[in-house]
Structure 1
Amino acid sequence: MSYKIAFFDIDGTLVNERKQIPQDTIDAIRALQSRGVEAVIATGRAPYFFRPIAEQLGIDSFVSLNGAYVVYKGRPIFEKSIPREHLEALVGHAAKHNHSLVFEGHSEFYSNEEGHPHMIDAVTSLRVDLPGYDPDFWKNESIYQVFLHCEEHEEHLYNEAVPALRYIRWHKTALDVLPAEGSKAQGIEALLKHLNLSVSEAVAFGDGLNDVEMLSVVGLGIAMGNSHEEVKPYADYVTAHVDEGGIRKGLQYAGLID
């Protein structure tokens, strides 16, 4: 199979635990691009959380916010915001349990509580600025994803209370909240349709629970060696750790670089 496009998760895939891109990965992405293969970021992060990473790699197309906001060469081509009534239900339920929320638009993000320790712990782990404070941001702007700040033993409080939403843990104190049908796969399919490409012509790299659908839908799904153990069964191939040439070795396996 001659693959024409490759999608890359960020955390644990393009960047390591120190949130740095290994030089080996930079070289591999450049080699891929030199062969005319499109490199696309596919992440749960919002665009303002990964701009320096995209610029460092020379990537200007991305599937962001877990598939809810897709940009091709600087132009938005797909977006799916969370319905206002579902946000209202989430806000009300989180308030009952004193759980902080962060609302993510495509260009700004705001918290409904200032200085919550769970929020600070999670957001600072991404090595990005903390959100501003605006508890009504969700009422006035399109929201594509929400950070729900609670611990693992508290997740059950939401699965049945607000079933129209999907919850994916990415940090010990944080979950991504997105529409029940939302996933990176949805955003990838939208971009492939825009480019008139089939899913069989795509490769994807990932390591987290929010990568399962993405790895399953493409022609070749590659899990990083450092992947969550529940992710690996959904991949066609498990490459090396992010710090051990995982991207390069995966692209070589796909026949995309030497």
Structure 2
Amino acid sequence: YVLDKAVVDDAVIKNEHYIHHDHFIFDSTQSDKPICYFDPLNGTCVQKIEIAPDQIKTVLELCKKNSYSCLFEEERLIYANAISDELLEVLQDIKSAEPPVMDTDRALYNPVFMLIPVMNLEDSKELEKLVPGCQLVRWSDGLSFDLTKKGITKVSGIDAILKHYGFSLSECAAIGDGWNDVDMLKHCGLGIAMGNAKPECKSAADYICPHILHDGISDAIDYIINYNQNKK
């Protein structure tokens, strides 16, 4: 997401859905250029690629058959088909509030950009075979994973943002901690893994910052600023 009519030198863009966090803009005294976080609620979506309704219908049928919960992410809304203990555990992991339970028929008529089914590994492999137009990316040790249209990843999202601004990959840094961040860290000019990241994530990174609970994000941003200053 980007703000309309914005002229940007440096940007920090968080890849979570906008309802997961507060919207704010901040700057740093350590840099002679602004570092901005863009509020997607007031911004413009760079790329909208929805999951095909027939693929969503297949997911719905499997979830209904096995009584699985699933999150549905539209541009301005997240809702669930049902609330389960497993889903509540996932929400706690991503520090997200409990979503409303809504009639999932709306998913067949309103654009949905990502699904987060909560199911075991065996059934997720079955689902992957049933939705060839989508891809499943597991980002934790838990029961949840991201399901998007095939080819839509963090890498493709970064490429869309860079193209929009006219930036190059060498001007882009990424911070991650999960399995779904590995390709992104390899792709960007500077990849930073959190201290609590998966081993595969750390192996893909150029720098490993402290644990997220020990000011890891702050350290990562300081590292990026110093990295840029040392390149001048």
| TM-score, length of structure 1 as denominator length | 0.72
Q: Which runs of 5+ in 1 are unaligned?
A: 1-34, 63-70
Structure 1 match to 2:10:
37
Structure 1 match to 2:132:
163
Which residues of 2 match residues 106-255 of structure 1 at below 5 A? Answer: 106-113=75-82, 115-125=83-93, 126-170=95-139, 172-254=142-224, 255=227
- Is 1:61 the counterpart of 2:38? The answer is yes
C-alpha distance in structure 1 between counterparts of 2:108 and 2:218, whole Å? 44
SS of 1:103 mapped into structure 2: strand
| 1:153, distance to aligned residue in structure 2 (A) | 4.5
Equivalent pairs, count: 211
C-alpha distance in structure 1 between counterparts of 2:45 and 2:152, whole Å? 17
C-alpha distance in structure 2 between counterparts of 1:228 and 1:80, whole Å? 28
In 2 relative to 1, CA 95–127 (structure 1 residues): closer, same or farther, beyond 3 Å?
closer
Q: Which amino acid aligns with 2:173?
A: V
Q: Which amino acid aligns with 1:239?
A: C
Structure in which a larger fraction of residues adopt strand: 1
Q: Which amino acid aligns with 1:37?
A: D
Identity among equivalent pairs (%): 25
SS of 1:136 mapped into structure 2: helix
In 2 relative to 1, CA 236–248 (structure 1 residues): closer, same or farther, beyond 3 Å?
same
Asked if structure 1 preserves the Cα contact closer than 8 Å seen for 2:136 and 2:145, the reply is yes
- Is 1:90 the counterpart of 2:31? The answer is no
Asked if structure 1 preserves the Cα contact closer than 8 Å seen for 2:120 and 2:143, the reply is yes
Measured on the aligned residues, the alpha-carbon RMSD in Å equals 2.7
In 2 relative to 1, CA 249–121 (structure 1 residues): closer, same or farther, beyond 3 Å?
closer
Structure 1 match to 2:30:
none
Asked if structure 2 preserves the Cα contact closer than 8 Å seen for 1:251 and 1:257, the reply is no
Q: Which amino acid aligns with 1:140?
A: Y
C-alpha distance in structure 2 between counterparts of 1:79 and 1:139, whole Å? 16
C-alpha distance after superposition, 1:101-136 (max 9, x if no partner): 2211011122223x3322233224424132332221
C-alpha distance after superposition, 1:131-165 (max 9, x if no partner): 33222120121001111011334332222232322
Q: Which amino acid aligns with 1:141?
A: N
Q: Which amino acid aligns with 1:97?
A: N
| 1:198, distance to aligned residue in structure 2 (A) | 0.7
Which stretch of structure 1 is more off in the superposition, 205-214 or 163-172?
Answer: 163-172
C-alpha distance in structure 1 between counterparts of 2:25 and 2:168, whole Å? 28
C-alpha distance in structure 2 between counterparts of 1:194 and 1:154, whole Å? 38
Q: Which amino acid aligns with 1:46?
A: H
Q: Which runs of 5+ in 2 are unaligned?
A: 1-7, 28-35
C-alpha distance after superposition, 1:199-236 (max 9, x if no partner): 11111111112212221211111111110112122222
Structure 2 match to 1:16:
none
C-alpha distance in structure 1 between counterparts of 2:115 and 2:87, whole Å? 12
SS of 2:199 mapped into structure 1: coil
| TM-score, length of structure 2 as denominator length | 0.79
